[in-house]
Chain A
């Protein structure tokens, strides 16, 4: 299992947990359950987790596939710098967020799922992974080489003019074959 980036799975798990927390919270609030305040909290927590986890990070090795429309989220998440880059922070954040969900049945599942996601993030952090934003590659124009700025001062050496002039009498030796066919239609 050497090449696995746990963060990729943790991300999927956390996104799913956010949705489950959100759903549980909505049911709790809409049904006016006992402890609906916890459900209301779960709605907010679920939305927050979804926003945080929606932009997929860049894979350390291989091509990264973006989620649809994740660019704006990437920019927002990137703005928090080391807080979102570091997976230890994410692991503890998710662990903390999930706790209030355990106080009410409707949100218990979301709590457990987020807890699992937090553990996977912890594993990722221990292995030294971190979150890199997927940004569109900027067009890098090749820097103009130095030599282009100094054109040669002298013309290249040429044989004397007598040799260069095509010999009208000796057409055979003056002719040459094109290596590639130059006919128009082929």
Chain B
């Protein structure tokens, strides 16, 4: 438990603050409506359901403001950049943006449910009051006429349900669908439900387009949300009326209203729409983000080289004016020839020191398959189809050089950010860059099949040679794990075990078979670096992430003088 805290204390604080604000808003607004004198008559008609509807509304305002912010990637990159001087902890937090986005979404869903149920009760009870089912006071209140003053066009009645002449069972439905608040409420709740069902893990991971297109219903959600409150439906007694007509005194004298000086007819007013105060800022920021994406899309991108690699991996080397990247960052690519609206993220595999940027794209779905198809049909040396590039956006990998010791784990295609890092190391060494804080790097590559090694093996061979020439063999230790081995591999290796270089990759370091024994690896790192802060970086499946996170916790020492492992993860 102590170790989890060491690694995640900042997240715990953020979540606590967020939750605290939610609870505060809920309780505060609950009591405003539960005890406010101006709502005395309203409460008579609605009971506590009024407060139970308004409190979640306040929480919803707050969370709808927050939900757009974690996906403003340029804003996050900007914040990240400004924290370069500050702690690593802050930057790690910004990587968990999607987790926060989901958390806020759950809160919105929960509060929508509470808000909706409370309003169902409200509408039913307002209808009953209008039908005269309740006591004299309720009937009298509901019967109050609308004395709209011509000068300000504000309505003065209390009960917003005015209709009386259709089937009483259908009045609530009629009211909801003919009032702005009701209609927008139904529409945006529907949008929210569709967004949530298409964001379930099953749909998001396997049918990305459904998720992406349906998620754009958030435009309808925000549009409806902003106008949801403009109908002045939540009524309270206005100030002047309260001075003249005290509810506590007049409530039992309904026949005398308007006839005695102490109780003139009470006048009511509705509250103005408030949501737009909360959400206008983030909406503008998000709009800027999309505008930025569009501007970048219009910028010209040239193809420097297009290479088809084995295992259906496509390498694209692109050039864009003014494009600057850091190690391990990712870009969003859009190819109008395949789909006008889809942007897909890819980690860059080139180093910042190069004058182009490259991505390795694996066949993983509709869009990538079509892209590979198009590229394969291109004649030699021709330019590819128009490509829009948005980014670069930051990842945890930027932090690799800040740790004295780094453990890099890449599973399969997850090795791509690390390709960028290793290339960058190569360049930094050649230039003797003093910014390099790292003393030692352990690199673990897990892969199922041998073919995928080829494009990366070239890079590692060059690195190996370079390290040896400079006598820096100690700097980089890498272990390659072939997790999909079978008997034929074993036989082949048995026969060739004497050779200097590995039979699979041609590298000096031998390939290991099967999955790594993480306990052994962590022990080794701890033994070799007894006092260091070790950064663990993973790009790979969730399951592996959970294992490594646990190991980091297990092998970290709360004692600041001993080895500490920090876990960083990036996945899309």
Q: Which of B150-158, B189-197, B375-383 contacts A (4 or more CB under 8 A)?
A: B189-197
**In chain A, what residue has the closest Cβ to B172?**
A105
**Contact of B13 with A by CB under 8 A:** no
**Contact of A9 with B by CB under 8 A:** yes
**Bound-complex Cα distance A1 to B198 (A):** 14
Number of interface residues of B (CB under 8 A): 35
Q: A59-B206, A105-B120 are in contact. Are A34 and B365 (CB under 8 A)?
A: no
B contacts with A: majority SS: helix
- Across the interface, do A12 and B127 meet the contact criterion of CB distance under 8 Å? no
**Contact of B366 with A by CB under 8 A:** yes
- Across the interface, do A12 and B197 meet the contact criterion of CB distance under 8 Å? yes
**Contact of A31 with B by CB under 8 A:** yes
Chain A residues closer than 8 Å to B189, beta-carbon distance: 109
- Across the interface, do B121 and A8 meet the contact criterion of CB distance under 8 Å? no
Minimum CB–CB distance from A73 to chain B (whole Å) comes to 16
Which of A20, A34, A105 has its CB near the most chain B CB atoms (within 10 A)?
A105
**Contact of A132 with B by CB under 8 A:** no
Other-chain residue from B121, B123, B193 in contact with A16 (beta carbon distance below 8 A): B193
- B-contact bits for A108-126, CB 8 A (1 contact / 0 none): 1100110010000000000
Chain A residues closer than 8 Å to B210, beta-carbon distance: 1, 4, 9
**Bound-complex Cα distance A12 to B210 (A):** 13
Q: A12-B200, A62-B206, A105-B176 are in contact. Are A113 and B193 (CB under 8 A)?
A: yes
- Across the interface, do B190 and A109 meet the contact criterion of CB distance under 8 Å? yes
Chain B residues closer than 8 Å to A105, beta-carbon distance: 120, 123-124, 172-173, 176
- Across the interface, do A108 and B116 meet the contact criterion of CB distance under 8 Å? no
**Bound-complex Cα distance A118 to B117 (A):** 24
**In chain A, what residue has the closest Cβ to B118?**
A27
Other-chain residue from B113, B194, B495 in contact with A13 (beta carbon distance below 8 A): B194
Chain B residues closer than 8 Å to A104, beta-carbon distance: 169, 172-173
Number of interface residues of A (CB under 8 A): 34
**Bound-complex Cα distance A179 to B494 (A):** 7
Other-chain residue from A4, A35, A113 in contact with B207 (beta carbon distance below 8 A): A4
- B-contact bits for A32-49, CB 8 A (1 contact / 0 none): 011100000000000000
Minimum CB–CB distance from B463 to chain A (whole Å) comes to 29
**Bound-complex Cα distance A67 to B117 (A):** 28
Chain B residues closer than 8 Å to A5, beta-carbon distance: 207
**Bound-complex Cα distance A59 to B206 (A):** 10
Chain B interface residues (CB < 8 Å from chain A): 113, 116-117, 120-121, 123-124, 127, 168-170, 172-173, 176, 186, 189-190, 193-194, 196-198, 200-203, 206-207, 209-210, 365-366, 494-495, 497
21 residue pairs bridging A and B, Cβ less than 8 Å apart:
A1-B209, A1-B210, A1-B366, A4-B209, A4-B210, A13-B193, A16-B193, A23-B113, A23-B117, A28-B120, A31-B120, A35-B169, A59-B206, A62-B206, A65-B201, A65-B202, A104-B172, A112-B190, A113-B190, A179-B494, A180-B494
